[in-house]
Structure 1
Amino acid sequence: MRLLNSFRQLLQNGGLLCLLSLSQVGFSQSISAERKRIATEMERSIRQEMLNKWYPLAVDTVHGGFLSTFTYDFKPTGPQDKMIVTQARHTWTTAKAAERYPSVAHYKANARHGFHFLRDVMWDKEYGGFYTLVDRAGKVQGPGNKEAYGNAFGLYALSAYYHQSGDTAALALAKKSFGWLEQHSHDPVHKGYFQHLRRDGTPIKRDATVASTSDLGYKDQNSSIHLLEAFTELYAVWPDPLVRQRLNEMLQLVRDVITSPKGNLVLFFQPDWTPISFRDSSEAVVLKHRYIDHVSFGHDVETAYLMLEASHALGLKNDAKTRAVGKRMVDHALANGWDKQVGGFYDQGYYFKDKSGGGPSGMTIIDESKNWWLQAEGLNTLLLMADLYPNDPMAYFEKYKRLWTYTQTYLIDHQHGDWYEEGLDKDPQRQTGNKGHIWKAAYHTYRALTGCVDRSGRPTH
């Protein structure tokens, strides 16, 4: 019998939110009218403004896998290159939707279709591992180099599809994928995983020829948090001792090494986990390297959830340390990256050395756009914090309500469906921007909204 003890599966199957009992917070059996109202609105949006827009439209019936790029009104556009991250996220989403909405037959077929593309096209049959990018017909783009980040999502999708389907071929490939990461990407000396790999799995080292603005050869927070997520999903269907060891290793790295004492994630590191920072440089140099070094409020609030999910999957009862760090991350994002006038989280901030900034602790906002995935993750994590700390001065539930109002007003396209890439209050031109591309599918929004609905009592209609 497949293991159903992952945090996300527990929620989706109507179980109690165990983290609440761990924090000794009484979870009321009666759900407030506001909570019910929001859950009903979210459930309706999931079904009528999200899933039905993407599927089965995104299914590529000619070349396999999923189409990646869509106009604002959901017309396929462009060459439709296929990245492992997008293909895996579509497979994961349809597998989860097949479990959640069993009466909608095409979700199950879409997930199986996605798995076949991952297995038959994206997986390198000679060297192993998932390719990063292929064209629409499946031809590998470039030298075939690979990334831990993309392979994490491949593993994530395989685990979810096996849970949904029971297809042992998916579990076999998931085990092979984990083994490939273990053999090639895992760092046995300093722990964690090398992000950039050649086609044969050899880690790519940084040297003097690599531009200072490039992340090539660095370890990073983004691959680390999604490896954490992938191992959580894998451990639910394959509770292997080594998977548990790596899941625990990644939880400790993310919580204790990658997260700063202030509560934000450091983005990039040397292989020995020495942080990469340009704070001692001029403002011009900092901004030139902003991709490498900034405060990403979205990753911070997302990671708070992923850490708590991993802790639960590991069965770490009374894990006060993980809860405390997660809370610190959310509080830091609210104190420094929350728009107090309109609501919503800004994209990027920075602690300049010689500037006090506009925030209470010297933070300067360097990108005030409000991307879609950040707000989605914010909804999920704010509600979790509201349940864990209902009487906290940060007033998580009030901000959750305000963020949902913001999302309804500035992010969800109630005419054409799905979410704009950026909030229209800051980026009104996004109203006619593409709804889908290789970095934008339904994964963040589906995961976040279903998490909120399930913790609020799923509507029966």
Structure 2
Amino acid sequence: MTAPWPDLPTHREWLHDQARSLLTFGRRTPSADGGAYWLDDQGKPLPQNGIHTWITARTVHVYSLGHLMGIPGCTPVAQSALDGLTGRLHDSAFDGWLASVQPDDGTKAAYAHAFVLLAATSGVTAGLDGAEELLQDAQQVLLERFWDEDAGLAVDAWDRSFSTLDPYRGINANMHLVEACLAAADVTGDHAWLERARRISQFVIAQARTNDWRIPEHFDAQWQPQLELNRDKPGDQFKPYGATVGHALEWSRLLLHLEAALGEADRTDWLTPAKALFERAVIDGWAADGADGFVYTTDWSGRPVVRERMHWVVAEALGAAVTLWHRTGDSAYADRYAQWWDYTQRYVIDHENGSWHHELDATNRPAATVWAGKPDLYHALQATLLPLLPLTPSFATAIAQGHLA
């Protein structure tokens, strides 16, 4: 019997090669004025798409990881992106971060602010100029404007002046805040961030358990589920209708990172819901319409709604499978991991232009119904690194401490 792929030195070498290739693809991301461009399918900047805070923050994060890995050329990209967060994307009038510049839609979103916190923690670990100040600012804004202590969750969006709060509440931003909380706890030593991550996660588990492990994504101001939201536009980039398969996989992984970060003194059973979310996502999402690949969304009975295959979903599937394998030693997870890398190698990795196709249609041909271009290295890069790292600490801290296999 052959060893599981994550144990093979040759597979780990292949993962390192993939990580370097991804970081090479994004080398034209920096804007001369600070921030990160949206890239097209060939890796060329699209200035007409504006400079977005979420893309810029993710760029700080991934290129800080590249710096910590000792890959030449990553530091200037990370620094340029961080300069965008401390410069033109920062709202000097009202604090916080604009959604984007050219154009700016006038909202201050928890989703983007969670990534600013993540970016700041990675930037501090990588020693970037201005990262310490960014981290202090990001913590303050998140706690003062977005964190609802009574609910134990983050609200979703304000107007620019932080005077009007949108009544919508969402799980997507809270999911990414859990990741940022784990990183913030590692970098600051403040375990209150772990408690926030725990409270968010417990809410999501409770909601998923009552919906056959399909996670409600959308809520009203009283945190009541809005299961029919966006039925008329099911392929929305950030608020799709129904259950989002990739988020169940991402939550499966995050619960195990949280478990590891909390340590043996915590008696909560995180493994059972992590396994349940994984299994539900695989049953509902993988090859659900006959072709390999994960569908984007399903209805509340598990029937596919948006059948396009998003690159980030299989990236999170890979991460969840290898994390469950690390946690349990069950070879079934390693087998799934190998199966999904085979799929990714065949269909998702763009062997001609670089990076990963961000969207495939239901027959696994490149498409752009939901996502055009290749604005994001974050999911793909983390998929190459998760097999090489322990469950805790978080990415930047783990690499800085020498844990990269």
Measured against the shorter chain, the TM-score band is: 0.7 to 0.9
- The CA deviation at 1:429 is 4.2
Q: Given that residues 307 and 322 in structure 1 are in contact (C-alpha distance below 8 angstroms), is that contact kept between their aligned partners in structure 2?
A: yes
Alignment partner, residue 443 of structure 1: 378
Q: Which residue of 1 aligns with 2:297?
A: 348
Write out per-residue CA displacement over residues 376-423 of structure 1, whole angstroms, 9 at most, x where no aligned residue.
11111111222333447xx22222111111100011011211111223
Code of the residue aligned with 1:141 in structure 2: it is: D
Aligned-residue offset at 1:193: 1.5
TM-score, normalising length from structure 1? 0.76
Which residue identity is paired with 1:328? A
Is the CA contact (8 Å cut-off) linking 1:69 and 1:76 kept in structure 2?
yes
What CA distance in whole angstroms lies between the structure 2 residues aligned with 1:241 and 1:454? 22
Deviation at 1:323, TM superposition (A): 1.3
1:156-235 matched pairs, under 5 angstroms: 156-165=118-127, 167=129, 169-205=130-166, 217-235=167-185
Distance 1:387 1:133, change over 3 A: same
Superposed CA deviations along residues 267-305 of structure 1, whole A, max 9, x for unmatched, are 1112222111239xxxxx945567554011101101111
SS at match of 2:304: strand
**Quick check: 1:197–1:203 contact (8 Å CA) kept in 2?**
yes
Amino acid at match of 1:198: D
1:94 to 63, 70, 77: 63
Q: Distance in 1 between matches of 2:361 and 2:216?
A: 29
Alignment of 1:258-269 (within 5 A): 260-269=210-219
CA distance in 1 between counterparts of 2:209 and 2:203 reads 8
Match of 2:34 in 1: 64
Percent identity reads 20
Q: Is the 8 A contact 1:69 1:434 kept in 2?
A: no
Q: Which residue of 2 aligns with 1:385?
A: 324
C-alpha separation between the residues in 2 aligned to 1:258 and 1:345?
Answer: 19
**Partner amino acid for 2:153?**
G
The answer for the alignment partner of 2:26 in structure 1 is: 54
Residues 164 and 232 (structure 1 numbering): CA distance in 2 closer, same or farther, change over 3 Å?
same
Instruction: Please state if 1:375 is matched with 2:324.
Output: no
| Contact map agreement 1:194 1:203 (CA 8 A) in 2 | no
Distance 1:203 1:314 in 2: 35
| Offset, 1:316 | 5.1
Higher Cα Rg: structure 1 or 2? 1
Amino acid corresponding to residue 226 of structure 2 in structure 1: I
Distance in 1 (alpha carbons) for counterparts of 2:272 and 2:86 = 40
- Runs of 4+ in structure 1 off by over 6 angstroms are 455-460
Provide the secondary structure at the position in 1 that maps to 2:360.
coil
Structure 2: unaligned runs, 5 residues or longer: 392-401
**Alignment match, 1:248:** 198
> Within 2, Cα distance between the matches of 1:240 and 1:455?
21
Distance in 2 (CA, whole Å) between partners of 1:39 and 1:277 is 41
TM score, norm. by length of structure 2? 0.86
Give the C-alpha shift of residue 34 in structure 1: 7.5
Change (3 A) 1:292 1:47: closer
Name the counterpart of 2:99: 132
Q: Distance in 1 between matches of 2:213 and 2:98?
A: 34
Instruction: After superposition, give the CA deviation of every residue in 1:117-142 in whole Å (9 maximum; x if it has no partner).
Output: 1011111112111111112xxxx624
Q: CA deviation at 1:80?
A: 3.8
Determine if the alignment matches structure 1 residue 39 to structure 2 residue 12.
yes
- After TM superposition, the structure 1 stretch with the greater mean CA deviation from structure 2, 265-274 or 76-85, is 76-85
Structure 1, unmatched stretches of 5+, are 1-29, 206-216, 280-284, 352-361
